[in-house]
């Protein structure tokens, strides 16, 4: 034996390899030729038995006794065989195949059971997968830029303006002085108009500083990006085209770079074409959603006086140096703001920098919503699991005799659990498979329901990640809902069941307790979802009922862009005057006006640094407000009511004293408890009498968005008196019926004045309003759908349990009726049992809802998460549904024939 | 019903390995040999023996072959593999250590 200790080192390794090979061969053999292995074992055991018999004969036993004694000594042959099989370890696979066959057979035997359980699982797994694919596309997939986690957005920040754009010269100083950024760029919405051959066309465009695409990590597919030279005023003669524009409008001309095109009546040279998949990072002011939403880019010019920094409209994006965290960059920006404040007295006091990852800026607002939806759909899955467990338990109780017999025949506990789990996993995977089909359809439905400005909707697909998720969910589901019945089955008391034939034993009471607990949980979860849906419904109704501050019905809007080259100085105001006059004369148009902005479409116009006559700004804050331009008919067309004073008139010309209109918020903020009418402000540091602007009217507040908590302060200038450009304006025309009918009149009116102008973004105000409530509507629809599903599942659950309880108590009910109980008494008895479960579940749900209310807080509009109306009505609905579900088994309880019950007792 | 009450699991493995270390034996002979050598102190129940043999075979510590016995019948003979011999050494050493320790505690 000593020699065998020798093989250490390389010999050791060889031995180990050899052993691994032997093991593999043996396993394969047992798998491939199970019959032969079994026969050999039998032969081996027979040999053993024979030798034992021989031995027994040797000590003088008669043959029959020798046999019997030998058999006794050997013990259960079947058990030895079973154990040897266990030792061969192939039993896993063999047993699995057997369990699978068994499971399929037993599912086929109970088609009703199978259909119910599969459908509920498929629906809930499918819904989970669909929501997950949205989350995968929107939240989990990295943004489509290289090293996207280093891209950040830079804003100014104050208490009243969390995301404030920058003044271009602020940006230029930041870019020059900051050390945190690899590169930094500014961009602002600046659409362009192509005229010439064919219909004039309006393109979504952005004016961008040099290196904008470098920040994003993108390069033109052809040509080059703008350089620093293009930022100088007067050097804006180049454009970059989107791939889509290049293909659709320029027939994918391979020699496009260097080609001259006319935009806004000015000559431009094509500097390059961006590759397909160039996604706009999304922006807040005059917002264009993230995605391939932009047609054209052209150079941003730093115009004007670098010491005059009142106007803020530039959005900033930057790429952080490797290893620099956003908050570190933000600290540096704050230091730079302090520097700028020293260099420019009375400027930037009270402002801070905000540096946030681009991902958060794009996805942040949707994150909460999506996670709430995932939570909701996850709850539905939990309920479906409880339901499936309940159904399996119900069936397990019907199969208790069978299980008892199998246990008596020597099936081990682990073996039984494994078999039950095989069955539940089979159900779960079948459900998951169906769920994938439902998810495929569901995702399409979800995407079509998504709000139009939902970020990254184009990235939503059912892909490998979604399949993986579905697989894991199905696996977890199968184990979750299979475990309770499996453990329960393994605990079956053999003797009891064999004797009683599976009726009225102690294990049944435990059984019912478990099932009742499951149902209470189901009802609780369903209540939680119902409360969520109820709160969202109340919030949505509040949103619809809230006064928007304007009247969206019968209102058509459009945008028209007057090229700077052809409309200089006062020509633009004159054009707008002629256009509104022409529109006013059209039959069917009751009011027409133009303005820089439309409600609920986003603004980029903020002005600060004006002086309110007779006032000093509060410490750490200067006077500021949103600014807009409006024609005389604008407010009437928009349906924005006048609170005091007058609207603009044709008399507010360049020669007349300067007039402004303010909204109520501004009036109250700067002239609290006073009449703001007739008060004056100025933008000049050393105003002469003619520089003062007098408030001639006060109009109602319009919030930025329907669910904004408050309206921002705002002021309007008349078209003729405005210090800002009025070349890009929105037109609003109010009719008396369907506004779509006015579209042609509008287009004609514009083209009669100038056939080279594109009338873009023709939309009814109803559509704009609708798009603004589409997110809460989307959330409400889904949560309500899930809550409905949850309630249905819970109803099935309570029905199942009460039915089971009734079937267990048939004899008792029969006896009671034989002793004189009325059917009504028995019904009440059953219903009481159901109501008890329902009340317990509802209580659980209410407590959970109170605890989780904060999750919904930011998604609600003027509803408290602990809204008593919602809580009371949800409780009532849940209990009513529970009573309804219990009514059928309650009726059945009274159908027991007393005589029959007595006889079988 | 599966665990031999008179033999610690693992010890049976050791006994089997040791018993066939000198020459291949079939199951009956292994059981008999253990009983003889231990002077009938160690009784190997068949219900434990065959599963143990199968386990050892599946772990490739031993290998089996059908051969004729002295009486001319076919029986399944087990013998150690190379890996099995190493394993036996390891288990012997472990047993020595254990029994010495137990002995010391008892003899104190």
Across the interface, whether the CB atoms of A44 and B76 are under 8 A apart is answered yes
Q: For residue A12, which residues of chain B lie inside 8 Å, CB to CB? A: 86
Residue A1 binned pLDDT confidence (cut-offs 50, 70, 90): very low
pLDDT band at A510 (very low <50, low <70, confident <90, very high): low
Please report residues of B whose CB lies closer than 8 A to that of A15. 82-83, 86
| A23/B83 Cβ within 8 A | no
Point out which residues pair with A608 in neighbouring strands: A624
C-alpha distance from residue B1 to each of A487, B5, B47 (Å): 22, 9, 8
Considering only CB atoms, B50 lies closest to which of A4, A50, A84, namely A84
Helix H or strand E segment including A24 = helix A10-32
Looking at the complex, report in whole angstroms how far the Cα of residue A44 sits from the nearest Cα belonging to chain B: 6
What pLDDT shows up at residue A490?
67
Q: What mean pLDDT do residues A486-494 have? A: 68
Best to test chain B binding among A38, A44, A55, A56 (most B CBs inside 10 Å): A44
How far apart, in whole angstroms, are the C-alpha atoms of residue A688 and residue A905? 108
Band of the pLDDT at B10, cuts 50, 70, 90? Answer: low
A591 vs A634: CA distance, rounded Å: 8
pLDDT of residue A497: 56
Question: Chain A partners of B85 at a C-beta cutoff of 8 Å?
Answer: 1, 4
Q: Which pLDDT value is given to residue A495?
A: 58
Confidence of residue A595 (pLDDT cuts 50, 70, 90): very high
Q: Report the helix count and the strand count for chain A, using DSSP H and E.
A: 26, 25
Indicate yes or no: CB of B73 within 8 angstroms of CB of A47. Answer: yes
**Is there a contact between B28 and A51 if contact means CB atoms under 8 Å apart?**
yes
Whether A4 and B2 lie within 8 Å, measured CB to CB: no
The domains of chain B are located at 11-107
| pLDDT tens-digit series, residues A406-418 | 777 766 677 778 7
Nearest CA of chain A to the CA of B108: how many Å? 33
Kindly determine whether residue B27 and residue A80, on different chains, have CB atoms separated by under 8 Å: no
Residue A356, pLDDT score:
93
A·B CB contacts under 8 A: 94
**What are the E-state strand segments in A664-758?**
680-682, 693-699, 714-718, 728-734
Q: Is the Cβ pair B27, A15 closer than 8 Å? A: no
Contact A22 B63 (CB under 8 A): yes
Positive or negative, the Cα torsion across A731, A734, A740, A746? negative
Minimum distance, in Å, between the CA of residue A23 and any CA atom of chain B? 6
Q: What is the pLDDT of residue A171?
A: 92
Query: Tokens 């030729």 identify what position?
Result: A33
What are A151-173's pLDDT values in tens digits? Answer: 999 998 887 678 888 889 999 99
Note the residue count of chain B: 108
Cα separation, A234 vs A303, whole angstroms: 9
A interface mutation test: which of B46, B56, B80, B93 has the most A CBs within 10 A? B46
Q: Do B83 and A45 touch (CB under 8 A)?
A: no
Report H helices in A409-493: 413-449, 464-490
For the domain spanning B11-107, the CATH number is 1.10.10.10
pLDDT of res. A619: 56
A174 contacts: CB under 8 Å, gap ≥ 6: A154, A166, A184, A316, A333, A336
Q: Is the pLDDT assigned to residue A89 strictly greater than 70?
A: no
Q: Which residues of B touch A47 (CB under 8 A)?
A: 26-28, 73-76
Does residue A669 carry a pLDDT above 60?
A: yes
**Pairwise CA distance, residues A410 & A415, whole Å:** 10
* Residues of chain B contacting A5 with CB distance shorter than 8 Å: 86, 89
The chain-wide mean pLDDT, for chain A, equals: 84
pLDDT at position B6 is 46
Cβ within 8 Å, pair A19-B83: yes
pLDDT score recorded for residue A607: 66
Work out the minimum CA distance from B74 to partner chain A, whole angstroms: 8
The answer to whether A627 touches A693, Cβ cutoff 8 Å, is no
Q: Which residues of B touch A41 (CB under 8 A)?
A: 50, 54
Which stretches of chain B sit within 8 Å of chain A by CB? Answer: 1-2, 21, 26-28, 45-47, 50-52, 54-55, 57-60, 63, 66, 73-76, 81-83, 85-86, 88-89
- Taking the CA of residue A403 and the nearest CA in chain B, the distance in Å comes to 20
Asked if A75 lies within 8 A of B81 by C-beta distance, the reply is no
Pick from A697, A705, A651: which is nearest to A678 by CA?
A: A697
When comparing pLDDT for A605 and A330, which is higher? A330
Question: What are the backbone angles phi and psi of residue A175, rounded to the nearest 5°?
Answer: -60, -40
Q: Give the mean model confidence (pLDDT) for residues A881-905.
A: 77
Cβ distance of B58 and A89 shorter than 8 Å: yes
Residue in B1, B57, B66 nearest the CB of A26: B57
Chain A residues with CB-CB distance to B54 below 8 A: 41, 84, 87-88
Q: Give the ipTM.
A: 0.85
Give pTM, 2 decimals: 0.70
For residue A451, count CB atoms less than 10 angstroms from its CB and return exposed for 0-12, middle for 13-18, buried for 19 or more.
Answer: buried
Task: Please judge whether B45 and A1 are an interchain contact, meaning their C-beta atoms are less than 8 angstroms apart.
Answer: no
Position of tokens 């050494």? Answer: B89
Q: Give the model's confidence band at A604: pLDDT under 50 very low, under 70 low, under 90 confident, else very high.
A: low
| Alpha-carbon span B59 to A92, nearest angstrom | 16
DSSP 3-state of A183? strand
Q: What is the pLDDT of residues A739-785, one digit of tens each?
A: 888 888 898 899 899 888 888 888 899 888 888 888 888 888 888 88
Cα A522 to Cα A525: distance, rounded to the nearest angstrom: 5
Asked which of A247-256, A467-476, A501-510 is least confident by mean pLDDT, the reply is A501-510
* Model pLDDT, residue A820: 82
B46, B63, B83 member nearest A73 (Cβ): B46
| Total Cβ atoms within 10 A of residue A32 | 11
Degrees to nearest 5, angle at CA A178 with A173 and A184: 80
Contacts of B40 in chain A (CB under 8 A): none
CA B106 to chain A, closest CA, distance in angstroms equals 31
Of the listed ranges A368-377, A617-626, B84-93, the one predicted with least confidence: A617-626
For residue A189, what is the DSSP state? E
Distance CA A69, CA A55 (A): 11
B37 Cα to chain A: minimum distance (Å): 18
Q: Which residues of chain A does B66 touch, with a Cβ-Cβ cutoff of 8 Å?
A: 40
Per the CB < 8 Å rule, is A44 touching B51?
no
Contacts for A72 with CB less than 8 Å, ≥ 6 apart: none
Q: What is the pLDDT, as a whole number, of residue A627?
A: 87
User: Closest by alpha carbon to A537, among A788, A705, A766, A848?
Assistant: A788
Cβ pair A22:B85 closer than 8 A: no
Q: What is the pLDDT of residue B77?
A: 92
Contact B46 A80 (CB under 8 A): yes
pLDDT recorded at residue B12: 85
Instruction: Report CB contact under 8 Å: A41, B50.
Output: yes
In degrees rounded to 5, what are phi and psi of residue A681? -130, 165
CB contact under 8 A, B28 and A84: no
Identify the residue with better confidence: A508 or B88: B88
**pLDDT band, residue A11 (cuts 50/70/90):** low
Q: CB B86 to CB A76 under 8 A?
A: no
Distances (CA, A) of A39 to A35, A46, A499, B51: 6, 10, 37, 15
Higher pLDDT, A38 or A338: A338
Interval A203-215 mean pLDDT: 92
Note the pLDDT of residue A504: 45
Whether residue A557 is predicted with pLDDT greater than 90 in this model: the reply is yes
Residue A690 pLDDT > 90:
no
Which residue of chain A has the CA closest to B22?
Answer: A1
Q: Say whether pLDDT at B45 is over 60.
A: yes
Helix runs in chain B, H state only: 11-19, 27-37, 46-58, 82-107
- Cβ atoms of residues A171 and A301 within 8 Å: no
Q: What angle do CA A193, A196, A199 make, to 5 degrees?
A: 70
User: What mean pLDDT do residues A799-803 have?
Assistant: 83
Report the chain B residue with the minimal C-alpha distance to residue A29. Answer: B58
CB burial readout A756-794, b (16+ within 10 A) else e: bbbbbbbbbbbbbbeebbbbbbbbbebbbbbbebbbbbb
**If you measure CA to CA, which chain B residue comes closest to A12?**
B83
Shortest distance between the Cα of A497 and any Cα of chain B, in A, equals 22
Lowest mean pLDDT among A111-115, A298-302, A383-387, A587-591: A111-115
Q: What pLDDT score does A2 carry?
A: 37
Question: A23, A47, A69, A76: which to substitute to probe chain B, counting the most B Cβ within 10 Å?
Answer: A47
Residue A315 CA to residue A290 CA, distance in Å, equals 14
Return the residue of A nearest to B43 by Cα.
Answer: A73
């Amino acid at each position: 034996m000593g020699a065998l200790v020798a093989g250490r080192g390389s010999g050791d390794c060889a031995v180990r390899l050899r052993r691994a090979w032997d093991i593999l061969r043996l396993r394969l053999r047992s798998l491939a030729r199970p019959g032969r292995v079994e026969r050999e074992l039998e032969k081996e055991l027979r040999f053993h038995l024979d030798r034992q018999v021989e031995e027994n004969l040797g000590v003088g036993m008669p043959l029959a006794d020798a046999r019997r004694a030998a058999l006794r000594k050997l013990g259960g042959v079947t058990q030895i065989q079973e154990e040897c099989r266990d030792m061969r370890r192939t039993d896993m696979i063999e047993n699995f195949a057997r369990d699978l066959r068994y499971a399929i057979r037993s599912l086929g035997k109970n088609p009703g059971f199978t259909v119910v359980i599969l459908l509920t699982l498929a629906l809930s797994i499918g819904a989970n997968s669909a929501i997950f694919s949205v989350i995968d596309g929107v939240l989990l997939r990295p943004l489509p830029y290289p090293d996207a986690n280093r891209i950040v957005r830079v804003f100014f920040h104050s208490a009243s303006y969390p995301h404030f754009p920058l003044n271009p010269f602020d940006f230029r100083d930041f870019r020059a002085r900051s050390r945190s950024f690899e590169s930094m760029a500014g961009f602002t919405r600046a659409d362009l108009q192509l005229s010439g051959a064919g219909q004039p066309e309006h393109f979504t465009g952005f004016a961008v500083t040099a290196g904008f695409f470098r920040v994003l990590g993108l390069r033109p597919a052809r040509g080059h990006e703008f350089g620093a030279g293009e930022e100088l005023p007067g050097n804006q003669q180049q454009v970059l085209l989107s791939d889509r524009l290049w293909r659709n409008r320029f027939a994918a001309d391979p020699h496009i770079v260097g080609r001259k095109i006319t935009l806004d009546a000015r000559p431009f040279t094509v500097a390059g074409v961006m590759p397909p998949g160039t996604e706009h990072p999304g922006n807040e002011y005059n917002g264009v959603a993230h995605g391939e939403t932009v047609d054209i880019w052209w150079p941003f010019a730093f115009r004007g006086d670098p010491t005059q920094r009142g106007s803020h409209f530039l959005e900033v994006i930057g790429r952080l140096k490797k290893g620099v965290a956003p908050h570190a960059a933000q600290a540096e920006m704050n230091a730079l703001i302090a520097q700028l404040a020293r260099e420019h007295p009375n400027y930037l006091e009270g402002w801070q920098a905000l540096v946030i990852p681009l991902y958060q800026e794009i996805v942040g607002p949707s994150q909460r919503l999506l996670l709430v939806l995932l939570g909701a759909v996850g709850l539905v899955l939990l309920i479906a699991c409880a339901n499936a467990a309940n159904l399996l338990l119900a069936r397990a109780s019907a199969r208790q005799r069978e299980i008892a017999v199998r246990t008596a025949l020597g099936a081990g506990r682990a073996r039984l659990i494994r078999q039950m789990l095989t069955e539940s996993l089979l159900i779960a995977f079948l459900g998951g498979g169906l769920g994938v089909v439902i998810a495929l359809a569901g995702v399409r439905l979800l995407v079509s329901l998504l709000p139009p400005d939902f970020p990254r909707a184009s990235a939503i697909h059912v892909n490998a990640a979604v399949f993986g998720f579905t697989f894991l969910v199905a696996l977890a589901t199968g184990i979750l809902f299979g475990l309770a019945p499996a453990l329960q089955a393994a605990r079956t008391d053999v003797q009891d069941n064999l004797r009683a034939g599976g009726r009225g034993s102690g294990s049944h009471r435990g059984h019912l307790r478990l099932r009742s607990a499951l149902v209470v949980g189901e009802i609780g979860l369903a209540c939680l979802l119902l409360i969520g849906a109820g709160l969202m419904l109340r919030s949505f109704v509040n949103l619809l009922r809230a006064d928007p501050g304007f009247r969206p019905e019968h209102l058509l809007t459009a945008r028209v862009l007057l090229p700077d080259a052809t409309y200089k100085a006062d020509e633009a105001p004159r054009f707008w005057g002629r256009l509104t006059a022409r529109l006013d004369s059209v039959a069917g148009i009751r009011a027409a006006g133009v303005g820089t902005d439309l409600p609920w479409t986003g603004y980029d116009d903020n002005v600060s640094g004006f002086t309110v006559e007779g006032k000093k700004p509060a410490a750490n804050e200067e006077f500021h407000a949103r600014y807009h331009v409006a024609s005389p008919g604008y407010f009437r067309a928009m349906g924005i009511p006048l609170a005091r004073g007058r609207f603009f008139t044709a008399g507010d010309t360049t020669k007349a004293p300067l007039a402004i209109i303010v909204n109520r918020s501004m009036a109250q903020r700067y002239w609290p408890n006073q009449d703001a009418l007739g008060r004056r402000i100025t933008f000049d540091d050393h105003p002469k009498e003619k520089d003062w602007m007098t408030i001639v009217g006060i109009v109602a507040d319009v919030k930025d968005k329907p669910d904004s908590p408050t309206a921002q302060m705002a002021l309007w200038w008349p078209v003729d008196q405005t210090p800002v450009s009025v070349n890009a304006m929105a037109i609003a025309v109010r009719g008396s019926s369907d506004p779509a009918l006015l579209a042609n009149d509008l287009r004609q009116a514009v083209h009669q004045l100038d056939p080279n102008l594109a009338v873009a973004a023709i939309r009814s105000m109803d559509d704009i309003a609708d798009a603004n409530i589409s997110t809460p509507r989307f959330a409400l629809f889904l949560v309500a759908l899930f809550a409905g599903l949850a309630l249905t599942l819970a109803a099935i659950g309570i029905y199942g349990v009460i039915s089971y309880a009734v079937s267990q108590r048939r004899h008792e009910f029969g006896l009671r009726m034989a002793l004189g109980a009325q059917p009504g008494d028995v019904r009440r008895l059953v219903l009481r049992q159901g109501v008890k479960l329902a009340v317990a579940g509802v209580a659980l749900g209410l407590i959970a809802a109170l605890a989780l209310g904060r999750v919904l807080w930011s998604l609600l509009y003027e509803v408290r998460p602990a809204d008593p109306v919602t809580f009371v009505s949800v409780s009532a609905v849940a209990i009513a549904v529970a009573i309804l579900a219990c009514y059928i088994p309650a009726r059945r309880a009274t159908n027991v024939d007393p005589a029959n019950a007595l006889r079988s007792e | 019903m599966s665990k031999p009450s008179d033999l610690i699991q693992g010890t049976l493995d050791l006994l089997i390995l040791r018993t066939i270390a000198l020459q291949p034996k079939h199951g009956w002979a292994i059981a008999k040999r253990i009983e003889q050598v231990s002077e009938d102190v160690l009784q190997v129940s068949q219900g434990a023996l065959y599963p143990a043999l199968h386990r050892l075979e599946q772990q490739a510590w031993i290998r089996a072959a059908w051969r004729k016995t002295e009486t001319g019948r076919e029986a399944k003979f087990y013998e150690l593999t190379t890996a099995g011999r190493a394993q036996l050494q390891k288990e012997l050493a472990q047993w020595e250590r254990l029994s010495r320790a137990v002995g010391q505690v008892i003899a104190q």
